[in-house]
């Protein structure tokens, strides 16, 4: 066999690895932190988590002013040498307010679906999340998972809970927040509310008015947009939101095509159990006239019987006159 006929011997390893140490190879695999111009970093499209200039952001500003950005933000590379923020929107805003020009970043190469899933998972770890934030975050992640599974966008998946069951083994949806598949499904339903009604669900968490609990809000989400606008008008007029039972009634009437604004007004005028006015007596004053041997669970019965006895006494006195 001459020199030209010699076959190249294939090595069972990378030749470069043969001349580098394990320490060097481990170092090469580490994610590098790069300083990137803030102006080149775009916020994630339709980012569902609120970034507001509040006390928490001010505290973050103070921390960055003293120590700098301790935890690098995470971005992915886009076209035209730009980047998209995956995790770190609050750090970016705080840095901008301080007049900083660069941010320490870790760059990840992710597809659109992978980026959406990563963004949602990173932000769902926050301690305080409003229902609207979780609703749109779960919806974005659910749509990304459907796309990965090649389910057409206009085709309903068999069940949100089935998707949760599939992805929970990878800790992708709901698991980290402790939400069941059913609860994830309920949150996603909130994205079908008009903004004004969804704000009321957030208000319930913030203890602001007008507020609406999640259970009736989920039922209301099945109403058509014009029907939700009717309801909004009635809520603003009567300064009262629907109960769960009323919301179910509206949903059923909408399904049958019989829901009208007049019917909403009629139903909303009915007194709800939580609107029944309760008579309150100062507990300290009550204990000054109730025998000490009366147990707390028997106080209501004691007071009613005492009132009944006193009423009979008053009637008897009037008859004796």
| Residue that is written with structure tokens 């990304």 in the block | 144
Query: Of the given ranges (81-85, 103-107, 292-296, 317-321), which has the lowest mean pLDDT?
Result: 317-321
- What 8-state DSSP symbol labels residue 29? H
Angle 160-167/181-189 helices, nearest 10 degrees? Answer: 130
Nearest 5°: the CA angle 108, 113, 114 is: 35
pLDDT computed for residue 8 by the predictor = 56
Q: Check the CA dihedral 174-177-182-187 and report its sign.
A: negative
Q: Average pLDDT of the chain?
A: 82
What's the rounded mean pLDDT across residues 80-102?
94
pLDDT computed for residue 300 by the predictor = 78
Looking at the chain, the whole-number percentage of residues with pLDDT higher than 90 is: 52
- Per residue in 209-235, pLDDT (tens digit) is 999 999 999 999 999 999 999 999 999
pLDDT at 312 over 90: no
Query: Of the given ranges (19-23, 33-37, 126-130), which has the lowest mean pLDDT?
Result: 19-23
Does the domain at residues 29-109 carry the CATH identifier 3.90.1530.10? yes
Instruction: Tell me the pTM.
Output: 0.68
Q: Which long-range contacts (CB under 8 A, 24 or more apart) does 221-226 make?
A: 221/189, 221/190, 221/191, 221/192, 221/193, 222/189, 222/192, 222/251, 222/254, 222/255, 223/250, 223/251, 223/254, 223/259, 224/254, 225/194
- Per residue in 142-199, pLDDT (tens digit) is 888 888 876 665 555 544 444 444 444 333 455 555 677 788 889 999 999 999 999 9
pLDDT computed for residue 225 by the predictor = 97
Residue of 170 and 114 predicted with greater confidence = 114
pLDDT at 3 over 70: no
pLDDT at 139 over 70: yes
- Per residue in 232-282, pLDDT (tens digit) is 999 999 889 999 999 999 999 999 999 999 999 999 987 665 554 556 677
Residue of 83 and 287 predicted with greater confidence = 83
Q: Domain-by-domain residue ranges, the chain?
A: 29-109, 112-190, 193-291
């Amino acid at each position: 066999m001459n020199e030209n006929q010699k076959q190249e011997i294939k090595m069972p390893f990378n030749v470069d690895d043969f001349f580098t140490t394990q320490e060097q190879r481990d170092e090469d695999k580490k994610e590098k932190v790069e300083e990137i111009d803030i102006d080149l970093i775009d916020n994630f499209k339709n980012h569902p988590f609120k970034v507001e200039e509040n006390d928490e952001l001010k505290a973050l500003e103070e921390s960055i002013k003293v120590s700098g950005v301790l935890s690098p933000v995470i971005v992915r590379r886009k076209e035209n040498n730009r980047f998209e923020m995956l995790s770190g929107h609050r750090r970016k805003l705080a840095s901008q307010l301080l007049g900083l020009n660069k941010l320490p970043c870790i760059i990840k190469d992710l597809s659109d679906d992978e980026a959406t899933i990563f963004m949602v998972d990173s932000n769902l770890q926050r301690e305080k999340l409003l229902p609207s934030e979780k609703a749109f975050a779960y919806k974005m992640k659910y749509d990304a998972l459907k796309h990965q599974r090649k389910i057409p966008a206009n085709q309903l998946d068999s069940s949100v809970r089935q998707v949760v069951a599939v992805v929970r083994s990878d800790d992708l949806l709901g698991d980290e927040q402790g939400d069941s598949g059913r609860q994830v499904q309920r949150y996603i339903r909130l994205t079908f509310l008009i903004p004004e009604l969804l704000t009321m669900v957030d208000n319930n968490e913030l203890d602001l008015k007008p507020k609406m609990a999640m259970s009736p809000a989920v039922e209301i989400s099945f109403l058509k947009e014009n029907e939700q606008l009717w309801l909004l008008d009635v809520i603003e007029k009567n300064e009262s939101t629907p109960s769960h039972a009323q919301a179910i009634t509206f949903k059923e009437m909408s399904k049958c095509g019989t829901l009208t604004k007049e019917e909403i007004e009629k139903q909303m005028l009915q007194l709800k159990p939580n609107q029944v006015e309760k008579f309150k007596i100062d507990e300290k004053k009550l204990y000054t006239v109730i025998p000490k041997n009366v147990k707390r669970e028997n106080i209501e019965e004691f007071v009613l019987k005492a009132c009944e006895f006193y009423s009979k006494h008053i009637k008897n006195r009037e008859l004796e006159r």
